[in-house]
Chain A
Amino acid sequence: MVITFIEIFLLGIGAGIMGSMLGLGGGIIIVPALTILFGMSMRTAVAASTVSIIATSTGAAVAYLRDRLTNTRVAIWLEMGTALGALGGALIAGVINQRVLYIMFGLLLGYSTYNMFKARKQELPSGIVPDALSQKLRLGGSYYDKALGHRVDYQVTRTVPGLIIMIFSGAAAGLLGIGAGIFKVPAMDQVMGMPFKASTATSNFMIGVTAASGAVVYFARGDVQPLVAGPIVLGVLLGAIIGAKLMVRLRANLIRLCFIPLIAYTALTMIYRGVKWW
């Protein structure tokens, strides 16, 4: 039992480091690892993964908030979208064709992959003109970049399109149980014109709230097994603290380079899932 605890704990540390640096939940690692390597049921794995998303978010957010990488105003504006979208997704779950959704979201992520690849050499966005709503809500931000050694002031644009994408991403999370962070990062980075590091840190901040509503349901159903979720969450908390310390010192280009294969992989799996039973 001790050995299994330690193995699950180490898996958690790895997932926590990766998730916190990229603004993702880490389910992309945790779910396959628990089901394939440890032979656990999908229900147990998904429940443990959902609780560990909260751990990734909470553990890393402390450092990101202190460094002002997290844009709390953008986060709260977009959380409205994810929360309402998740609710809407849950309500229409019975009447919608999941395959179409998988393909739609898969293509959307494929397009994001392409854009992210095009922007791979761009360290910071330039020439972003804030729209009227962004100015009214004072969404612009500023942080000290430890990798570049100077302060970065930035503006936020396309405030409403960003919110609309969040509604869809919330619905995707509610309907398909995926996409804690993978839609949020490109929405902020590519659509709203935020710096990549601010996008991943803000995504990290938001995913805790998205996951909390899902986790309550898993708790109520009794899917959260303390002996599985316990060690993994403890590992993820530690990993997220380490990951956040690393991320603030890294260049945006390097973080983006790690993000691209993951988003490409997710896009392909989603399209595959949609096509498989066509």
Chain B
Amino acid sequence: MVVREDSVETKHEAIELVLARLLRLGSLVAAALLAVGLTAMVVGLTGIAPRLITAGLLVLLGTPVLRVAAAALIFVRERDWYFAFFCAVVLAALATGILLGRAGG
């Protein structure tokens, strides 16, 4: 059991590092879009600025959801079925909540 775990650890990169990379990418892209958008606003490009900022906010919003999906894939690859299932439950609850929220709002 322990040996098998170790072999999984060495064959693939640890889940923490994969997720850290994904979250860093998401926050860098979001921060860049926000910074460019705010600068555009300050120099008077009022047409495009709010759209750039909104794009940045949407990238940020998508990052945690993508993180759950990425974790699900990693658990499937590691044949960790319990945790793959837990991630699927989270994703399903999020999707239902979003659909209900949009309908209700």
Contacts and interface: CB of A to CB of B under 8 A. Distances in A.
Interface of A: 1-2, 5, 51, 54-55, 57-59, 61-62, 65-66, 68, 70, 72-73, 76-77, 79-80, 83-84, 86-87, 90-91, 137, 208-209, 211-217, 219-221, 224, 226-227, 229-231, 233-234, 237-238
A70 B94 CA distance: 22
B61 interface: yes
A54 B60 contact: yes
A58 B27 contact: yes
A205 B72 CA distance: 16
A227 B50 contact: yes
B102 to A, nearest CB: 5
A65 B57 CA distance: 23
B68 A66 contact: no
B46 to A, nearest CB: 10
Contacts of A229: 53, 57
B101 A213 contact: yes
Contacts of A211: 64
A141 B22 CA distance: 22
Interface residues of B, number: 49
A51 B53 contact: no
Given A86-B97, A227-B50, A55 B105 contact: no
Given A59-B27, A65-B16, 19 more contacts: A51-B57, A65-B20, A65-B23, A76-B71, A77-B83, A83-B89, A87-B96, A87-B97, A91-B100, A208-B67, A216-B98, A216-B102, A226-B50, A230-B38, A230-B57, A231-B38, A234-B34, A237-B31, A238-B31
A57 B16 contact: no
B101 A220 contact: yes
Dominant secondary structure at the B interface: helix
Contacts of A76: 68, 71, 83, 86-87, 90
Q: Which 5 A-B pairs have the closest CB atoms?
A: A83-B93, A217-B101, A208-B64, A226-B53, A230-B53
B58 interface: yes
Given A65-B19, A213-B101, A216-B101, A77 B53 contact: no
Choose among A213, A215, A220, A231 the residue with the greatest number of B CB atoms under 10 Å from its CB.
A213
B20 to A, nearest CB: 4
A54 B61 contact: yes
Interface in B3-62: 15-17, 19-20, 23-24, 26-27, 30-31, 34-35, 37-38, 41-42, 49-50, 53-54, 56-58, 60-62
Given A58-B27, A65-B23, A212-B94, A233 B60 contact: yes
Contact of A234 (B16, B35, B64, B96): B35
A79 B68 contact: yes
25 contacts: A5-B38, A55-B30, A58-B23, A61-B20, A62-B20, A66-B17, A66-B20, A76-B68, A79-B86, A80-B89, A80-B90, A84-B93, A87-B97, A87-B100, A90-B97, A91-B100, A216-B101, A216-B102, A226-B50, A229-B57, A230-B53, A233-B34, A233-B56, A233-B60, A234-B34
